[in-house]
Amino acid sequence: MDNSRNRQERGPSYELQQRGRSNDLAPSEAQQANSNNHLPLDVTSTDLIAGTLGTGLFLGSGEAISTAGPLGALIAFALVGSVAYASLCSLGEMTSLAPISGTFPHFASRWVDPALGFAIGWNYFLTNALAVPAEVSGARVLIALWDTDHTWLYTLIICFMMCATNIFGIVYFAETEFIFSIIKLTMITGLIIVGLLIDLGGLPNQAPIGFNFWKNPGPFVVPGPSALEPQHPSLDHFLGILSVIVQAAFAYQGMEIVAVAASETVNPRRNITKAVRRVFYRILIFYVEFHVPYDDWPLTAWQILGIFVAGLIVPSTDNYLLSASLQPTSAAAAQSPFVIAINNANIKVLPAIVNAGMITSAFSAGNSFLFCSSRILYGLAIRGQAPHILTYCTKKGLPIVAVLCSPWLSIWGLIWCAFFILINGFRVFWSSNWNVANFITSYIDILIFFTLFFFWKITRHTEVWKPDEMDFTKGIPSYEETESPEIPPEGFWQRIAAALF
């Protein structure tokens, strides 16, 4: 069957996809359509947005350490970090080629199968839409540390502010996220410094902690009566790591916003490339550092800062880590190892400051999830998949090394992502933990995804794209149409800012 007949037999779904592709107009027309929505900031804001830090990081680090121990948490977060980076590199490569609205659901529709794009798009929209109330709930719990009588009012205010930030235009969203990113970076830096002071005995009447908590209770959690495998410590350590992997995956959620915002970013090809490249260091610094407990890990100096901040200032057996129910009104804040260490050091004002910083983090993450869900839904709508309303080369020039090496990072990410999905609710399969509600909430998304996939495939008679049919040029703006000349930084401080942000 020739290609023309094959295209005709794709039916209405193929024609609908052709008409619905963002930027399947002439590139100049597509760019003009997007010109009014460009982010008013350059790589600085894009890069900061790429490193989304929400309650999954700030409020979950204590639970991770109490579940798997400091070393177990390190292994889990480092593994998921490598997968997150691998996935983001693949996404960044495609987005740099085609910085158009719709991002990865459109890529799946255009280069794999329209049914796959439909399923991915709606599944991602639902995931982000559900993450928004999760972050709102996290912010509400943190506010309850100060006032437990008006939580409904605070919830209403947070929801209104998130909606207003996204409704009133991209300018407000970009500026708001830039400010909140600076606040989060400042808070992380401050926590590192405070953690060092606490660990080294730099505070008045505070003895050095050193590496005592690494030696006792140890790098892994000692299995207790409530452990999954109390008679098999090694197996229980492994299961603890699996539990933290699920939590870590939530903590990394949101980094893909750098691709979602591609069509609204100034100089997207250059800025997205920079942002993705720097995410690697963000993962190591802002995620791994919260969990690295080992005092002789062969890492660079800035990673050693994470060693001191990670699990050395609070033991994995601390009561506040093990049971947030001890203080229900501040359960989430109580689980933060930094807040626990600060309270143990009798620093009176700082816990409230950290709590305020965590509130801004929760708001920022929820704001970003709302942004992502709206952009993905828009991308689905314009393609008819949602309601319309809504360096070494061969002599012939082949970069052979890049060709041979480039797939493996993507394959690494793909395999582990599938594994993470399968172990999402593995704890319910132990007889002592079986719970129908937990099983459904852990695995219902798999059913939803395949239902969406086969619904679109059957109703629209889609087919998987063949390599010789994939279109990598039509509707994709040229480099000259999207990139303006880069202005090099001038002066010392501009160079520092360019390197950091």
End-to-end CA distance of the chain: 52
Q: Which of 53, 49, 245, 66 is nearest to 135 (CA)?
A: 53
Cβ neighbours, 10 Å, residue 281: 13
Rounded CA gap, 240 and 242, in Å?
Answer: 5
HSE-CB of 145 using CA atoms within 13 angstroms: 20
Closest CA to 387 of 68, 5, 52, 20: 20
Buried/exposed 19-53: b ≥16 CB within 10 Å, e otherwise: ebbbbbeebeebbeebeeebbebbbbbbbbbbbbb
Neighbouring C-beta atoms of residue 54, cutoff 10 Å: 29
Give the pLDDT score at 451. Answer: 92
Answer left, alpha or beta for residue 39, where phi above 0 means left and psi between -120 and 50 means alpha: beta
432-453: buried (b, 16+ CB within 10 Å) or exposed (e) per residue?
Answer: eeeeeeeeeebeeeeeebeebb
Q: Is 224 left (phi over 0), alpha (psi -120 to 50) or beta?
A: beta
The distance from CA 2 to its chain's CA centroid, rounded to whole angstroms, is 43
pLDDT tens for each residue of the chain, 501 residues long:
444 433 433 333 333 344 333 334 333 333 444 444 444 444 444 444 434 555 555 566 777 788 888 888 888 888 887 888 888 888 888 888 888 777 888 888 888 888 998 998 888 888 888 878 877 877 877 787 787 777 778 888 888 888 888 777 667 777 787 788 788 778 877 887 888 888 888 888 778 888 788 788 888 887 776 677 888 888 888 888 888 888 777 777 777 777 777 766 777 777 777 777 766 666 655 555 443 333 332 222 333 344 346 577 788 788 777 654 344 434 455 567 777 888 888 888 888 888 888 888 888 888 888 887 777 777 777 778 877 777 555 554 444 444 455 456 556 767 887 888 888 888 888 867 788 888 888 888 889 989 998 999 899 888 887 766 767 667 766 656 666 666 777 777 777 776 665
Specify the pLDDT at position 381.
Answer: 78
All domains of the chain in start order, with CATH: 41-474 (1.20.1740)
Residue with tokens 């506040």: 320
Report which residue type is found at 501.
Answer: F
Q: What is the reported pLDDT for 483?
A: 63
| Closest by Cα among 251, 253, 280 to 47 | 280
Neighbours of 3 (CB within 10 A): 10
Tokens (6 digits) for 366 = 């929820």
What is the per-residue pLDDT for 439? 85
What's the confidence (pLDDT) of residue 87? 83
CB atoms within 10 A of CB 1: 7
Is there a contact between 174 and 367 (Cβ–Cβ < 8 Å)? no
Contact 498, 489 (CB under 8 A): yes
- 3-state DSSP call for residue 307? helix
Look at residue 420 in the predicted model and tell me its pLDDT: 81
pLDDT of residue 374: 79
For residue 5, what are its two tokens? 């007949």
pLDDT given for residue 499 in this prediction? 64
User: What is the spatial distance between Cα 48 and Cα 179, in angstroms, rounded to a whole number?
Assistant: 10
- In sequence order, which ranges of 383-435 are alpha helices (DSSP H)? 400-422
Q: What is the pLDDT of residue 269?
A: 78
Report which of 394, 59, 98 is spatially closest to residue 272, judged by C-alpha positions: 98
Q: What is the pTM of this model?
A: 0.67
